[in-house]
């Protein structure tokens, strides 16, 4: 007896070792390709994708296997599932007896585990295949728990055509998840895998009901369910038919399917709002097609969670006439003027400006780059808030020059502007006017930071995504000031054809139009939502009527009217760090000794400049105001003191060009021998560092122009360090340069000098 036990033990150990060896040599082929399904914020299916072998094989999660589903399937397929090691010896013996002795070919020997093994490796029904299934069944039992094996079965069971798995069948036939199926529905589904070609839901429902009821009576005879449960199931009609998989939020679904390896993608999309915005966008673009404007994209962000609740990539996904399947929300485009709010906010945080600071909107030229305003006009003195409200280009470029483009670029990179990160070494001052690349996703994420006290966090498309970072782009104070400016409605970018409704909530927004009128942007926000709108053509073709104000903003307003019509008027509150002071209207600086016109302005204590206004100065002049004196050359008597407005050279030139009268400081005493410190004249033509090509047969002269201080009367021009000509300040003499490098110098009557260098080439034209 002891010897028998020892031999049995040895055989068992050897058998187990052989099993482990075979398990290592012939691993279980359990890598299953599941369909990707996409759900909304409530867990409802909104999209799905076929597997690589074109099957609807949706993964049923363990928590979707309800007790009713488990009980029904086990009772029908394998009553001893939880008790056998993968094969049922009694069932195999019974099947073998019937086949050999009675000559009957019966079924019922295959356990759920063996059926999983058969589904993993399709083989002809032979004895050899049965032995392999048996071995694979042991492998399955070794690797997985019973519940996991049941899960595999429910995921692989065939339901005819290209449908596999109970979840696919449940969704496609009954439009519900497996854990919501009734006893009648579960039983109906359980009989289809035995005869998938003849039991087709939607075609053979009467036959399916007949077979279903047979099994329900068997369940009743076995006392598996109560009599009431059986009666209810028998009485339940079967009106199901095969449905199509929904394809809502298609652009986002395709995007996430390409990026994610998960079988189920739980998005943050609010399906109700998604469908409303899709319809609004489609209907709105239909009205613009006569103007050759064919597409739009929209993103809506919940500001509290940073979740994207609506994502519309085009005006119509199935519109093949204008590339409806292109994802306009992710496409890289030129942002127009939409980056200006961030720029002015950064300048406020640097202390350069406040809302009432006065900027000069006059022609400028930075090494050949001469920006123009949208209307090609100049406004002279403007405040910061006016420059942002009117989206003026020149003050923005000058502000970026003062700030330094590197600071703006670093903030944009921190806000995940990927194209800016790639091109950062190529970007110049034009980036603030749209000379860079970004997407609607990135712009909407940036503006969502304005709704969160200037703190940026990446927008999220998937539920329960923790932000990987938070970046303070602007201080709460600067952020609040920018928001206040953007919320004003007496602006030129308020659409002309828009009539406000009683439900229109208060919002702050900024528009933008790219060069060539190819892209129209309007990004708006309030405490609840941030909405980004892009309108244009996927072909890149521009349209004369395309603009952020009149093309994109009406759709922005329609969306806010739809999703936030019940807004209670809650708005942002000013930060405690923000304060108010009086400033001079002429400069926006705290008043100096000669300031008379004052206005209230917000400022950031310890940050905003405290320099006082010096726009009016007391000057010593001759009684006839023909000349002025400095401290060095002023006579003991015979002069008077008068107040003069100090006007920058660029503004003097603007006044002269536009015939605007102003009282200039008289020219300085020509007999004075003092050399003044400070910057010399600003040479505006030719452009420093530029290369000029001149026709050698008919050379045209170059014009010499310079901006000078308002107390300068005369300037002296030098070409290659040789005196060329004396001229009155404001005169514009000409000269014909020599070929090669040319040094040009301008000296004013205070002895201050400015030099530039150009290169000249003579060519045959």
Active site residues: 77, 337
| Token pair of 68 as six digits | 């009713």
**Residue 686: is the preceding peptide bond cis (ω within 30°)?**
yes
Q: Please, are residues 84 and 141 in contact by the beta-carbon 8 Å criterion?
A: no
- 731-745 exposure pattern, b = at least 16 Cβ within 10 A, e = fewer: eeeebebeeeebebb
d(CA 113, CA 147): 11
Closest to 92 measured CA to CA, from 79, 111, 120: 111
Q: Please, are residues 442 and 415 in contact by the beta-carbon 8 Å criterion?
A: yes
Closest to 345 measured CA to CA, from 449, 433, 427, 434: 449
Rg of the chain over CA atoms, in angstroms?
Answer: 39
Measured CA to CA in angstroms, residue 187 lies from 215, 572, 752 at distances of 7, 57, 97
3-state secondary structure string across 190-221: HHHHHCCCCCCCCCCHHHHHHHHHHHHHHHHH
Closest to 50 measured CA to CA, from 248, 244, 242, 311: 244
Q: Which ranges of 415-570 does DSSP label H, i.e. alpha helix?
A: 418-423, 440-450, 476-486, 553-563
DSSP assignment of 733-755:
-EE-PPSEEEEEEEEETTS-EEE
DSSP annotation of 58 reads B
d(CA 202, CA 188): 12
Pairing of strands 753-763, 691-695: parallel
| Token pair of 604 as six digits | 């950031």
- State the burial class of residue 83 (Cβ atoms within 10 Å of its Cβ: 0-12, 13-18, 19+): exposed
- 616-643 exposure pattern, b = at least 16 Cβ within 10 A, e = fewer: beebbbeeeeebbbeeebeeeeebeeee
d(CA 248, CA 312): 10
d(CA 68, CA 186): 8
Phi, psi of 509 (to 5 degrees): -150, 160
């Amino acid at each position: 007896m002891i010897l028998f036990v020892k031999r049995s033990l040895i055989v068992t150990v050897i058998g187990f070792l052989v099993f482990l060896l075979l398990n290592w040599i012939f691993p279980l082929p359990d890598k299953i390709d599941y369909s990707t399904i996409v759900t909304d914020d409530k867990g409802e299916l909104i999209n799905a994708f076929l597997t690589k072998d074109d099957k609807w094989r949706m993964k049923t999660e363990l928590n979707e296997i309800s007790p009713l589903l488990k009980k029904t399937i086990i009772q029908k397929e394998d009553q001893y599932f939880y008790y056998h090691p993968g094969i049922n010896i009694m069932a195999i013996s019974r099947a073998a007896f019937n086949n050999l002795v009675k000559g009957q070919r019966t079924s019922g020997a295959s356990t759920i585990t063996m059926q999983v093994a058969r589904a993993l490796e399709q083989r002809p029904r032979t004895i050899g295949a049965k032995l392999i299934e048996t071995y694979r069944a042991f492998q399955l039992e070794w690797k997985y728990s019973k519940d996991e094996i049941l899960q595999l079965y429910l995921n692989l069971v065939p339901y005819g055509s290209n449908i596999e798995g109970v979840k696919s069948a449940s969704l496609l036939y009954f439009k519900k998840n497996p854990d919501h199926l009734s006893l009648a529905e579960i039983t109906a589904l359980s009989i289809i895998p035995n005869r998938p070609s003849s039991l087709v839901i939607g075609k053979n429902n009467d036959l399916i009901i007949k077979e279903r009821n047979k099994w329900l009576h068997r369940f009743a005879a076995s006392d598996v369910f109560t009599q009431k449960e059986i009666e209810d199931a028998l009485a339940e009609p079967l009106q199901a038919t095969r449905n199509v998989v929904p394809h809502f939020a298609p652009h986002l679904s395709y995007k996430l399917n390409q990026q994610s390896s998960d079988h189920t993608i739980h998005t943050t999309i609010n399906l109700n709002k998604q469908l409303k915005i899709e319809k609004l966008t489609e209907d709105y673009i239909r009205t613009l097609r006569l103007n050759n404007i064919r597409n739009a994209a929209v993103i809506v962000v919940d500001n509290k969670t940073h979740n994207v609740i609506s994502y519309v990539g085009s005006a119509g996904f199935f519109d093949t006439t204008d590339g409806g399947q292109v994802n306009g929300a992710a496409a890289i485009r030129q942002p127009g003027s939409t980056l200006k709010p961030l720029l002015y906010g950064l300048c406020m945080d640097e202390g350069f400006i406040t809302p009432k600071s006065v900027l000069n909107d006059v022609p400028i030229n930075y090494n050949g780059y001469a920006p123009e305003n949208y209307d090609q006009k100049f406004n002279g003195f403007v405040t910061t808030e006016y420059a942002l409200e009117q989206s003026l280009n020149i003050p923005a470029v000058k502000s970026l020059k003062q700030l330094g483009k590197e600071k703006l670029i670093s903030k944009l990179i921190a806000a995940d502007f990927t194209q800016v990160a790639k091109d950062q070494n190529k970007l110049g001052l034009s980036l603030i006017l749209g000379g860079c690349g970004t997407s609607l996703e990135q712009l909407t994420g940036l503006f969502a930071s304005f709704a969160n006290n200037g703190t940026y966090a990446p927008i999220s498309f998937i539920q329960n995504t923790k932000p990987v970072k938070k970046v303070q782009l602007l201080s709460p104070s600067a952020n609040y000031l920018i928001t206040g400016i953007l919320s004003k409605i007496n602006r030129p970018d308020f659409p002309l054809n828009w009539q406000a409704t009683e439900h229109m909530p208060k919002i702050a927004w900024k528009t933008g139009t790219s060069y060539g009128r190819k892209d129209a942007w309007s990004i708006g926000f309030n405490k609840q939502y941030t909405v980004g709108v892009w309108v244009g053509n996927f072909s890149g073709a521009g349209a004369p009527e395309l603009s952020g104000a009149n093309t994109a903003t009406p759709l922005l307003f329609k969306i806010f009217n739809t999703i936030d019509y019940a807004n209670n008027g809650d708005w942002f509150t000013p930060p405690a760090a923000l304060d108010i002071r009086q400033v001079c209207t002429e400069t926006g600086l705290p008043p100096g000794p000669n300031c008379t016109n004052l206005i209230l302005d917000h400022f950031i204590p310890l940050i905003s400049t405290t320099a006082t206004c010096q726009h009016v100065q007391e000057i010593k002049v001759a009684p006839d105001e023909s000349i002025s004196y400095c401290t060095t050359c002023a006579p003991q008597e015979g002069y008077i003191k008068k107040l003069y407005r100090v006007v920058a050279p660029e503004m003097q030139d603007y006044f002269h060009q536009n015939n605007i009268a102003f009282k200039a400081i008289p020219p300085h005493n020509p007999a004075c021998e003092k050399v003044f410190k400070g910057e010399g004249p600003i040479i505006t033509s030719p452009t420093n560092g530029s290369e000029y090509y001149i026709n050698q047969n008919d050379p045209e002269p170059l014009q010499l122009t310079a901006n000078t201080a308002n107390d300068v009367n005369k300037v002296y021009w030098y070409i290659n360090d040789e005196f060329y000509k004396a001229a009155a300040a404001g005169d514009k003499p000409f000269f014909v340069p020599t070929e090669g490098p040319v040094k040009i110098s301008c000296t004013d009557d205070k002895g201050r000098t400015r030099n530039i260098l150009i290169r000249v080439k003579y060519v045959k034209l």
